[in-house]
Amino acid sequence: MNGKAPELSVVIPCFNEAANLTPLMARLVPVLEGLGRSFEILLVDDGSRDRTLEVAAGLAAADPRIGILALSRNFGKEIAITAGIDHARGNAAILMDADLQHPPEKIIELAAAWDEGFQIIHATQAARPFEGVIKRLCVKSFYKLLAQLSDIKLPRGAGDFCLLDRAALDALKSMPERARFMKGLYFWVGFRQKQIPYEPAERLAGASGWSLSRLIGLALNGLTAFSTVPLRLASIAGVLVSFIAIIYGMFLVTDVLLHGIDVPGYASLMVGMLFLSGVQLISLGILGEYVGRIFNETKQRPLYFVGSYRPGQAHADAGTL
Ligand code: UDP
Ligand code: MG
């Protein structure tokens, strides 16, 4: 029932995308057919709470090249992509969003770059004009911070629209870490990489599945997974504060020796104490972030559970189903 492995796998994480799947397939399938290679489309249902799975099943029934991987619950986009990569059978996988923000027509250029010998091809966003100023500012400063703190330099606007060659897929599959920041991992694995700019479109239907707290979580994951600089910052803060404390201590002792004991000093005591406790708490918090991550990694839990999996057929020979 597995059929022959396709040349290309298109992996699409879907969370509450019922309204988008049909229009997406209508645009995506002709593009893939135009490439003249065998392909499968793998819809990864990330525990959607709407009719996504039903719609996907309908599409898969009509087109055997569409496969469905349903996760047992909502695990988040990073894990959904991981599950998709694990199950992609092609010599290359294309990752794209379900909401048509990633124009399927760009796949032609991605595949052409793959033919040239590139192994990881990113479609990078030229601009996201319809997003709020604050979100754009936050995203921008996050990438700046990440570039400063770690040695991976993500090109601006590189998202999850990319083509990964089998070599890169296998490299990604070999990474068992739980706190997954896929965008960082794509760069970390190396290989011959290329970027192709594209204009993202507006989400077709539904709302973005990313709440502010999820975005902050992702950003924290990205920073702590690729950098230990925050830990060092805590140490540096400690050294600085101790240094100031020694100077101030010497000043106090001299003052007592010269002018005798002067009882009032409540203000300086309070300020010193509050400041030091603040620094200590921040350092503890940073330490805690990393310890928490070590805890999560050591549990060695599987990253996800598959509710059901039905692979797509590489060739539309429905007769063998
Ligand atoms: N997504 C997912 N699981 C989630 C949240 C989102 O699989 O928990 C999918 C979603 O269906 C879409 C892609 O990830 O295909 C990008 O999500 P979204 O459009 O909400 O993010 P944004 O475009 O705002 O970055
Ligand atoms: Mg989107």
Beta strands in 102-142, from DSSP E residues, in sequence order:
120-125
Q: Name the token pair of 82.
A: 């991981």
Ligand 2 centroid–CA 149 distance in Å is: 27
Nearest-CA neighbor of 92 among 12, 166, 14, 157? 166
State pLDDT tens for residues 243-300.
887 888 888 888 888 887 767 777 778 778 877 887 787 788 788 878 887 887 787 7
Contact status, residue 145 vs residue 223, Cβ threshold 8 Å: yes
State pLDDT tens for residues 23-69.
999 999 999 999 888 999 999 999 999 899 999 999 998 998 999 99
The pLDDT > 90 percentage for the chain reads 29
Ligand 2 ion: Cβ-proximal residues, 5 Å cutoff: 97, 99, 101, 203
Nearest-CA neighbor of 230 among 281, 287, 183? 287
Mean pLDDT calculated for residue range 127-154: 73
Q: Supply the pTM of this predicted model.
A: 0.70
Ligand 2 centroid–CA 91 distance in Å is: 26
Nearest-CA neighbor of 182 among 255, 122, 240? 122
| Predicted ipTM beyond 0.90 | yes
Atom of ligand 1 nearest to the CA of 98: 15
Contact status, residue 120 vs residue 189, Cβ threshold 8 Å: yes
Atom of ligand 1 nearest to the CA of 210: 20
Ligand 1 centroid–CA 213 distance in Å is: 14
Q: Name the token pair of 291.
A: 């310890």
Measured between alpha carbons, how far is 7 from 182 in angstroms, rounded to an integer? 23
State pLDDT tens for residues 7-25.
999 999 999 999 999 999 9
Measured between alpha carbons, how far is 312 from 65 in angstroms, rounded to an integer? 4
Residue 147 has pLDDT above 80, yes or no: no
Nearest-CA neighbor of 221 among 195, 255, 183? 183
> Which residues, other chains included, contact 142 with Cβ-Cβ below 8 Å and sequence gap of 6+?
219, 222
With a Cβ cut-off of 6 Å, ligand 1 is lined by: 13-15, 17, 46, 74, 76-77, 80, 97-99, 101, 203, 208-210
pLDDT for res 156: 67
State pLDDT tens for residues 162-174.
999 999 999 888 8
The residue length of the chain stands at 321
pLDDT for res 288: 81
Atom of ligand 1 nearest to the CA of 97: 15
Ligand 1 centroid–CA 96 distance in Å is: 10
Pairing of strands 158-165, 92-95: antiparallel
Q: Which ligand is nearest to the CA of 207?
A: 1
Residue carrying the six token digits 């063998």: 320
Ligand 2 centroid–CA 97 distance in Å is: 6
Torsions phi, psi of 6, nearest 5?
A: -80, 165
Residue 1 has pLDDT above 70, yes or no: no
